[in-house]
Chain A
């Protein structure tokens, strides 16, 4: 049914057709219902927003869809809360147990808190990649286009190894290789994302990425040097940097998308620094002037910017794509990040 090479020269942009007022209405009912249910509605609220955003993002005349449900997200949160409470209980038990046991062997009971602290740090260190992979997997498994789901096939083990190696490299090179970690994560995520049976591909070179990042580096150096010369010079450089960051962000967007392809059909990033600049500062002004209330409009502006500047060369051969359903994707990782945020706020209070 799909004619190949229909318009080989023309590029089709992704379109965001959502309206600021619609988002405002969604925000209003989200806020009201979340307040009235003392927060429980949050999970339904997030799904509601996600669904609207997908249903109003269009590619080749077909909109995306978001299939998560509030109930599913809520269950994930409850399960995750259970895990966290159990973990805290086990850690507390270990702490008090060790405090009694260590002196019996002639050791310092202070080691108990050492042991517990290290265990907590290591656990949370491992949790970060687990969450990154699990959340993306859930998000992709619940997103569809033409009733065919996306999926994410990253493995936590590989992800951990990648983060660990790149972090080590970054430390050895005094942070110079730090951006390479972001690049690797992005590359890994793109290459492990699939639509139906077909994977996305990424062929960007680290060197090209660094050429863009070098501009950041130049500004950081200029900021550091100007700090020693005069504070007014520092502020001037800072303002210049805040503005120029839009051009860097646009270049990065274009770099990533222009090196992404699906079934041999290339995407293209077409964001201009000026577009990014005007959108960023107009939405910032909007948020400040409306004391935050107008943020759904800023949200719509941002969605439009990203969608309009992401183009696809041509329709891939859809008839060779077979749908797949990732049954292993779980909302518990989303829940873990939400629950740990909630517990964090609670512990800060106490």
Chain B
């Protein structure tokens, strides 16, 4: 007897006793609290299965399947396959009444909802959990001591130093040192250490915990000490706002959230994982723009406190169209993308920030005149 499909109308069923793959044909019907299988072979007895003994009722290709609960260690569950959709629905309803815990009801509703309903539920759940995880994990930085930033910085520092040639030049170090000192006060949680890198690149970056790298190309290209002062203020702000640690936490949250969802329950979804990783990286980049703005705002406050205007910083940007970047140290793709030219949007809000400030635009107060700066700024250029 080899059959290819069930006939939905005739109420026929096949009974598999779990001891042999040879099934026996028969009829299935439902009573108030049990199902009955009567074999076509009249010499065999009718099997009665109480509804409470049904472990599973599922849709299979071309029909439906019932599996009984396994009661003893050596007892084998029985399976009955049938094709009648009306019978299926009646058994399903009877079972629903039997198992009506809150969790089961919810899972049942989800299972039986339309594809649109499932997708909408998934979209909502993913959006809420994604947002909560990313924000929640980032928020946890409030509970982490500043020593975490320092430890992170200490791990990255030797790797960064290895990539570059460090320059020692007393006048420059003194000047930058006193700039840094005037930018920090007793409320600062981090101690800043300055490293001048001998490189034509016009860049500056801050490691978590307070290490700040300034590239000699940036110093040489500056037209006033106020420009560098503004850039240092921006980097100090990155450190103070713990942007490296927060980027790390945020991306960890994002990667965890996406690892939950991507290919959920399916083996061998590597291609999808690859796409997810790439879009995560792009998302992380979007966050880093928000951090830039935060750092600019705090830098403006710091400059204002010292009565130095933002004009130096703005002038430098206008001339060079660069973006100051904090080194996240983890992702080269991110680094590549973030070193692209700054947006006009940033320029706009920088100018807005600057217009509200009263300042004298001079660093004479800490002993650095424009003349002195011009004399020393090329100290680390070969």
Whether B21 contacts A55 by the Cβ 8 Å rule is: no
Whether A287 contacts B271 by the Cβ 8 Å rule is: yes
Whether B21 contacts A51 by the Cβ 8 Å rule is: no
- Given known pairs A295-B271, A321-B20, the reply for A32 and B126 (CB within 8 Å) is yes
| Chain B interface residue bracket vs A | 35 or more
Whether A18 contacts B61 by the Cβ 8 Å rule is: yes
B102 at the interface (CB under 8 A from A): no
CB distance from A325 to the nearest CB of B (A): 7
Whether B16 contacts A34 by the Cβ 8 Å rule is: no
- A24 closest partner in B (C-beta): B115
Whether A292 contacts B261 by the Cβ 8 Å rule is: no
Residue-wise interface mask of A (257-289) relative to B, using a CB-CB cutoff of 8 A (1 in contact, 0 not): 000000000000000000000000000100110
Q: Which of A36, A295, A296, A319 contacts B22 (CB 8 A)?
A: A319
Whether B121 contacts A28 by the Cβ 8 Å rule is: yes
- B273 closest partner in A (C-beta): A292
Q: Which of B23, B59, B62, B122 contacts A32 (CB 8 A)?
A: B122
Which of the segments B76-84, B200-208, B285-293, B341-349 contacts the partner chain? B76-84
> For residue A27, which residues in chain B have a CB less than 8 angstroms away from its CB?
264-266
A76 at the interface (CB under 8 A from B): no
Whether A321 contacts B265 by the Cβ 8 Å rule is: no
> For residue B61, which residues in chain A have a CB less than 8 angstroms away from its CB?
15, 17-18, 55-58, 63
> For residue A33, which residues in chain B have a CB less than 8 angstroms away from its CB?
110, 125
B365 at the interface (CB under 8 A from A): no
Q: Which of B17, B67, B265, B269 contacts A45 (CB 8 A)?
A: B265
Residue-wise interface mask of B (251-272) relative to A, using a CB-CB cutoff of 8 A (1 in contact, 0 not): 0100001011111111101011
Whether A55 contacts B115 by the Cβ 8 Å rule is: no
> For residue A323, which residues in chain B have a CB less than 8 angstroms away from its CB?
18-21, 76
Whether A196 contacts B58 by the Cβ 8 Å rule is: no
- B262 closest partner in A (C-beta): A292
> For residue A145, which residues in chain B have a CB less than 8 angstroms away from its CB?
21
Which of A18, A51, A318 gathers the greatest number of chain B CB atoms within 10 Å? A318
Whether B272 contacts A61 by the Cβ 8 Å rule is: no
Q: How far is the CA of A142 from the CA of B238 in the complex (A)?
A: 55
A229 at the interface (CB under 8 A from B): no
Whether A148 contacts B62 by the Cβ 8 Å rule is: no
Q: Which of A28, A57, A146, A345 contacts B21 (CB 8 A)?
A: A146
- B119 closest partner in A (C-beta): A28
> For residue A39, which residues in chain B have a CB less than 8 angstroms away from its CB?
259-260
B275 at the interface (CB under 8 A from A): yes
B307 at the interface (CB under 8 A from A): no
Interface of B is mostly: mixed
> For residue B269, which residues in chain A have a CB less than 8 angstroms away from its CB?
295, 299
Whether B20 contacts A29 by the Cβ 8 Å rule is: no
CB distance from B376 to the nearest CB of A (A): 43
Q: Which of B21, B122, B263, B264 contacts A148 (CB 8 A)?
A: B21
> For residue B23, which residues in chain A have a CB less than 8 angstroms away from its CB?
62, 146
- Given known pairs A38-B260, A147-B77, A291-B279, the reply for A29 and B110 (CB within 8 Å) is yes
> For residue A146, which residues in chain B have a CB less than 8 angstroms away from its CB?
16, 21-23, 79
A218 at the interface (CB under 8 A from B): no
A305 at the interface (CB under 8 A from B): no
A81 at the interface (CB under 8 A from B): no
Whether B265 contacts A345 by the Cβ 8 Å rule is: no
A322 at the interface (CB under 8 A from B): yes
CB distance from B227 to the nearest CB of A (A): 38
Q: How far is the CA of A49 from the CA of B268 in the complex (A)?
A: 12
Q: How far is the CA of A57 from the CA of B58 in the complex (A)?
A: 14
Within 8 A of B (CB), among A45-70: 45-46, 48-49, 51, 55-58, 60-63, 65
A232 at the interface (CB under 8 A from B): no
Whether A287 contacts B115 by the Cβ 8 Å rule is: no
- B276 closest partner in A (C-beta): A292
Hey, which bits of chain A sit against chain B, CB under 8 A? 1-3, 6, 15, 17-18, 21, 24-36, 38-39, 42, 45-46, 48-49, 51, 55-58, 60-63, 65, 145-148, 195-196, 284, 287-288, 291-292, 295-296, 299, 315, 318-319, 321-323, 325, 345, 349
Known pairs A28-B118, A31-B125 / 12 extra A-B pairs, C-beta < 8 Å: A15-B61, A28-B119, A32-B124, A35-B130, A39-B259, A39-B260, A42-B260, A56-B61, A62-B81, A65-B67, A299-B269, A319-B20
Q: Which 9 A-B pairs have the closest CB atoms?
A: A45-B265, A147-B16, A17-B61, A32-B125, A28-B122, A30-B265, A146-B21, A30-B264, A292-B272
Hey, which bits of chain B sit against chain A, CB under 8 A? 1-5, 16-24, 58-62, 65, 67, 76-79, 81, 110-111, 115, 118-119, 121-122, 124-126, 129-130, 252, 257, 259-267, 269, 271-272, 275-276, 279
26 contacts between A and B (CB under 8 A): A24-B115, A27-B265, A28-B119, A29-B110, A30-B266, A31-B260, A32-B124, A38-B129, A39-B260, A46-B267, A55-B61, A55-B65, A61-B2, A62-B81, A147-B77, A148-B19, A148-B20, A284-B271, A288-B275, A292-B262, A292-B276, A295-B266, A295-B269, A299-B266, A325-B76, A345-B259
